[in-house]
Structure 1
Amino acid sequence: MSESALPAALAEIRDEFLELDEPERLQLLLEFSNELPVFPQRYADRPELSERVAECQFPVFIVLEVDDDQRVAMHASAPAEAPTTRGFASILAQGLTGLSVEDALAVPDDYPQTLGLTRIVSPLRISGMTGMLLRAKRQIRARIGE
């Protein structure tokens, strides 16, 4: 996949991280954790409609929607006591929401490794974000019948 194929929102987030020194990158991740959009009540009340991300140490649940215009919306729930995990969920929710199905599915699977966090966040946490992304893409494919 070419560099230009990365959707603008995710490229902007990646570039924001890479412009910072490592300690500031961790701070930015924590800022993202505070920006995780509220999990819709329609899913909070019906947990069977969301998917637990088993790769995450903390209970993270995601739901992907595809509207009639083939636009994606990602919703995620992650506990406040897991700010790193919440930050990763927030990055994906903000970066994937609004994309076309095609653009969302084209996001490189290794996107989490491109944020410049691999030396300051445990490999298990990076694996959790990768798991979120892969499950999100699988849900999108299921919604469109692929």
Structure 2
Amino acid sequence: MPEMPSKLAEIVDEFAAAPREVVLEMLLEFSDAVPPLPAGQQGHQGMEQVTECQTPFFLRAELTPEGRVRTLFDCPPEAPTTRAFAGILAEGLADATAEQVLAVPDDLYQRMGLAQAISPLRVRGGTAVLARLKRQVREQIAGKTG
């Protein structure tokens, strides 16, 4: 059975072990880890909005011919917590296979200990981001085999 990417597992472990007062600082660091959208991608063309987020949040998962998942995220800089979710996924899922992405546990943010550090509404938004990402990957796998 595939496991989530080791880089994401490391991030989860770091957050889970961190004292509560440090977790928000760690989140803010990940808000800077969101790569900019590629040229020509502005305007959210082909991206899906995650309506559960309080902030306009858009994402797209692309399955490469090599079977890797490429993620695209767009979220305004003035929403650091929400951007942190994107930064965690962007860094943790870099170069991951579709199977590894699908193996990411749905309760990822609870495992990281974020439920104690941020509001339930934000955790729900982050969980929705992950669910949409995984759904897009499943749809692309089905499109290749179907």
Q: TM-score, normalised by structure 2?
A: 0.91
Cα offset for 1:7? 2.0
Q: Is the partner of 2:41 in helix, strand or coil?
A: helix
Q: Secondary structure at the match of 1:5?
A: coil
2:46 pairs with 44, 49, 52, which one?
49
| Cα distance change, pair 145–43 in 1 and its aligned pair in 2 (3 A) | farther
Of stretches 12-21 and 56-65 in structure 1, the one that deviates more from structure 2 is 12-21
Using the aligned pairs only, state the percent identity. Answer: 45
Partner of 2:142 in structure 1?
Answer: 145
AA aligned opposite 2:111: T
Q: Which residues of 2 match residues 25-64 of structure 1 at below 5 A?
A: 25-45=23-43, 47-64=44-61
Moved over 4 A (4+): none
Q: How many residues were matched structurally?
A: 143
- Cα offset, 1:18, TM superposition: 2.1
TM-score, normalization by structure 1? 0.91
CA positional deviation for 1:40: 1.8
2:111 matches 1:117: no
Q: Shift in Å at residue 42 of structure 1?
A: 2.8
Gaps of 5+ in 1: none
> Which residue pairs with 1:81 in the alignment?
78
Provide structure 2 residue ranges, at least 5 long, that are not aligned to the other structure.
none
- Equivalent residue in structure 2 for 1:133, among 130, 133, 146: 130
**Per-residue deviation at 1:138?**
0.8
Residue of structure 2 equivalent to 1:21: 19
- Give, in whole Å, the separation in 2 of the partners of 1:60 and 1:29: 17
**Letter paired with 1:67:** T
Q: CA deviation at 1:119?
A: 1.4
CA shift, 1:117, in A, is: 1.4
Separation in 2, partners of 1:41, 1:50? 14
One-letter identity of the residue aligned with 2:34: L
Task: Indicate whether 1:68 and 2:65 are aligned.
Answer: yes
Shift of 1:116: 0.9
Alpha-carbon separation, structure 1, partners of 2:112 and 2:38: 27
CA RMSD of aligned residues (A): 1.6
1:101 paired to 2:98 = yes
Distance 1:30 1:74 in 2: 20
